[in-house]
Amino acid sequence: LEEGHWAYPFVESAVAKGIMAGKGTTEDGAVVFDPFTELTREQLAQILYNVELVENGTVEITGECPFSDVVAGEWYEKAVTWAAENNIVSGYLDGTFGVGKFIERREVATMLYNYAKYKEYDVTQTADLSRFVDVDQVGWAEPYMTWAVGAEVMSGQAGGVLNPQGTADRATAATMITNFLNSYGK
């Protein structure tokens, strides 16, 4: 990611805080962040778990993961289990979490909202979404999206779109997480 790119300061912040990491190194040893790779649901759960680890140094998990598609011992198991125990994430009607499923922007807003509630942060901020040309695509996520825009965690994209059903890439996740932490003075 080039230093002049819009997401550079957000990626730099997320990496510096230990919330997100690179996805390997180049031959000359430079870290590869891979900013335009789509994020999965379990990756966002891991990012939120990392936020909690950075803040508290430890994370308590009291039970087993409730989702049938979360594999015991996989890198994301603890994060998804912790997030489920604390009502930060939910699964689907079939009992799965959606491991491997690319996460929509509205799902990111929902998980961040749920994390804010878990932390007992103020979640009363709202915004009028009618200024976005695709407000009709927000659907079930309206309370979470109005909060995310109102709390300045999320903003629209070029052309006045919110793109609620579009997938979030790593750069978008770094931006939203950084905005979230900044909104709450973290």
* Residuewise pLDDT in 10s, the chain (186 residues): 678 888 889 988 998 899 998 777 778 776 678 889 999 999 999 999 999 999 989 899 999 999 999 999 999 999 999 999 999 999 999 999 999 999 999 999 999 999 999 999 999 999 999 999 999 999 999 999 999 999 999 988 878 899 999 999 999 999 999 999 999 987
Q: What are 167's strand-pairing partners?
A: 104
CA distances from 13 to 18, 69, 133, 177 (A): 9, 32, 31, 10
Q: Which residues contact 88 (CB under 8 A, 6 or more apart)?
A: 45, 48, 82, 111, 114, 115, 118
Residue matched to tokens 């009709």 = 136
Residue matched to tokens 């009363």 = 124
Degrees to nearest 5, angle at CA 76 with 14 and 153? 35
Count of Cβ atoms closer than 10 Å to residue 77 Cβ = 20
Residues making up the chain, counted from first to last:
186
Q: Which residues contact 165 (CB under 8 A, 6 or more apart)?
A: 104, 105, 106, 137
